[in-house]
Structure 1
């Protein structure tokens, strides 16, 4: 019989000049809202900073150069579940021992961009002062509705469905066993890889445990767990409006964010600032070029709408799914500048924790903010499981 298995095809996007001309025209025609004097970031994105960012986006930002920089990674597309999935696939530079395949899952509001800085550190540790034996084969897919992956035309996919796609992708690439890691939405995808594919996944690493969903008796929780539930609820009340909108009425916001690049930048940069370890100065964690590379990916692929719709899909995941415990070896690196950091007792309630650290620097986008620290965490955690993947 003929081979009908999915075949990855090399993929290198090239933006048409007309698309960039249209973007610049829209940026220059931005109609700005008013803002009370000295409001700063207290009401959302700061008007003065966004004006500065938009001016640079229109007349200083070099997207072709950033596009070429991203093209240094081998990138592919493959059809899985009827959807074209874009992914980066970089093999280990040298084999000084068993090479562990590793699938990295991103979150929102980003894409494969989240791991752009850390990929070389993981695939070629010897070139970056680390042990060559810790090299990984790295796979970084864009979730459906994000980046260069297809946008679902039907219902959006939830964490569980995406985990199933990633298990299929790793099989297509010839990896019967592999490690999984992620943060934000990617933390949940990695969790479900461990839950639903324990025969394939040797270990799971996460930088967060998501916001807590607990339907039991709070008296059964440790004091630090109850405190964390309170902290998470307080955070949701002051910072969670975006999530409530994206879970319930994402399409209403998508009209404006898809039409206005300034509006799109405002929506994303406020989260980059609020969730990173930047002490209120977003450019301590991201340069303007880095911010705008992320935002431009959303603009050119028109994926802000479908990326937000995934919140609605995830909100419908059955409560019993949230109560499942990951039994494959699990590690957590809870970076010091992240939001709503869970206590060890909660982590152990939800997973078979064999590794837990609290790196002092880095926030919600740790692979981008602190790539060296993040790479070191992955090397340390996954080191005992290399032979399991090879076997």
Structure 2
């Protein structure tokens, strides 16, 4: 294991600004749907990125102790925020796509009574890509090995979002003796076969809604899973294009009013948005971040989770039925629906999520002070 500091070379920053200055931005298409990005917001973000004080942001990132460790031949990067309490419980916080570890740090900083580990998933940011098919089972094994063999935590809590939500479920299901509990805002959906057998009308309606929206809403995933290198070639060459591709999803999936992309910044500040773009740009990791999409066909059914679970339904899945959660999380300690916060829950409402995490651990007798 070795210490790590974020340090983007000067020539990368200079090149980025030159490319941004030459951006050829288009107007909105006529009669476009009022969703995701629009031309005015993209123009504004491009201008801000050109003037962005990256060195100040880099210094902020480096205030969080970071390391790289070799796990099964893969260099895995992670931030490790240790509590001053030796007996504090450990917590694994995983990101999804299109975010990075950086978007989870505000949440991690609000939990000084936990030892918080925030990794970069393989192929994202400062972690190397996995040399093989990167299935959910592989990611679960790598993350469990990080927590136990590399860091020495015998037991820990787990949390995941987006592509790491199933990874979190798998960790809890596969290594129950090492998991205190699982916090989920992206509760388990199940395979197509599992969904087909659902009888609860509320569950049936929820899965039917997902299927109906899967075409337009899932177009990005279809491209990333079928033509990843073609798309990545364009995004890796154009910072404006990369910014549009990333931020469109931040807007679309966050708890942001339709047709008002700038309102994203009520939940995720501009500095945080540009930090995400800068990490993808400087590490040239957009192509390897797509791996999860074209390796997904090898994923397997996840067995039910028997460890304690707390499920908080984020706004984009507001109609997720409690019956589905109870059938999968067999020791469900709490189930509720979040009043605010979308797909990027710990980034959008970090204080509320930190409170939920602390209450969950308090109920299990693993933290003693709800106001830490």
The TM-score normalised by the length of structure 1 is: 0.87
Q: 2:213 aligns with which of 231, 235, 253?
A: 235
User: What displacement does 1:190 show?
Assistant: 0.8
What are the equivalent positions in structure 2 for 1:202-351 lying under 5 Å apart? 202-209=180-187, 211-216=189-194, 218=196, 220-279=198-257, 280=260, 281-318=263-300, 321-322=301-302, 324-335=303-314, 337-339=315-317, 341-351=319-329
User: What displacement does 1:113 show?
Assistant: 1.5
Q: Structure 1 CA distance, aligned partners of 2:159 and 2:198?
A: 30
Assess if the C-alpha contact under 8 Å between 1:156 and 1:306 holds in 2: no
Partner of 1:122: helix, strand, or coil? coil
Q: 1:170 aligns with which of 139, 142, 147?
A: 147
Partner of 1:136 in structure 2?
Answer: 114
What are the equivalent positions in structure 2 for 1:68-217 lying under 5 Å apart? 68-94=59-85, 98-123=87-112, 135-152=113-130, 154-171=131-148, 172-209=150-187, 211-216=189-194
User: What displacement does 1:354 show?
Assistant: 2.1
User: What displacement does 1:53 show?
Assistant: 0.7
Partner of 1:354 in structure 2?
Answer: 333
Assess if the C-alpha contact under 8 Å between 1:27 and 1:261 holds in 2: yes
Q: Structure 2 CA distance, aligned partners of 1:235 and 1:36?
A: 22
User: What displacement does 1:33 show?
Assistant: 3.2
CA 223–157 in structure 1, closer or farther in 2 if over 3 Å, else same: same
Assess if the C-alpha contact under 8 Å between 2:195 and 2:207 holds in 1: no
Partner of 2:43: helix, strand, or coil? helix
User: What displacement does 1:277 show?
Assistant: 0.9
Partner of 2:176: helix, strand, or coil? coil
Q: Structure 1 CA distance, aligned partners of 2:234 and 2:364?
A: 47
Partner of 2:13 in structure 1?
Answer: 20
Assess if the C-alpha contact under 8 Å between 2:96 and 2:164 holds in 1: yes
Assess if the C-alpha contact under 8 Å between 2:105 and 2:118 holds in 1: no
The TM-score normalised by the length of structure 2 is: 0.91
Assess if the C-alpha contact under 8 Å between 2:254 and 2:264 holds in 1: yes
Partner of 2:39 in structure 1?
Answer: 47
**Which structure 2 residue ranges, 5 or more long, are not aligned?**
368-372
Instruction: Identify the range of structure 1 (376-385 vs 287-296) with the bigger mean alpha-carbon deviation.
Output: 376-385
User: What displacement does 1:40 show?
Assistant: 7.1
User: What displacement does 1:136 show?
Assistant: 0.7
User: What displacement does 1:342 show?
Assistant: 1.8
Partner of 1:77: helix, strand, or coil? strand
Measured on the aligned residues, the alpha-carbon RMSD in Å equals 2.0
What is the number of equivalent residue pairs in this alignment?
361
Q: Structure 2 CA distance, aligned partners of 1:217 and 1:291?
A: 35
Assess if the C-alpha contact under 8 Å between 1:92 and 1:136 holds in 2: yes
Assess if the C-alpha contact under 8 Å between 1:84 and 1:149 holds in 2: yes
Partner of 2:55 in structure 1?
Answer: 64
User: What displacement does 1:178 show?
Assistant: 1.1
Assess if the C-alpha contact under 8 Å between 2:125 and 2:285 holds in 1: yes
Q: Structure 1 CA distance, aligned partners of 2:97 and 2:310?
A: 21
Q: Structure 1 CA distance, aligned partners of 2:121 and 2:319?
A: 25
Assess if the C-alpha contact under 8 Å between 2:69 and 2:77 holds in 1: yes
Q: Structure 1 CA distance, aligned partners of 2:283 and 2:256?
A: 28
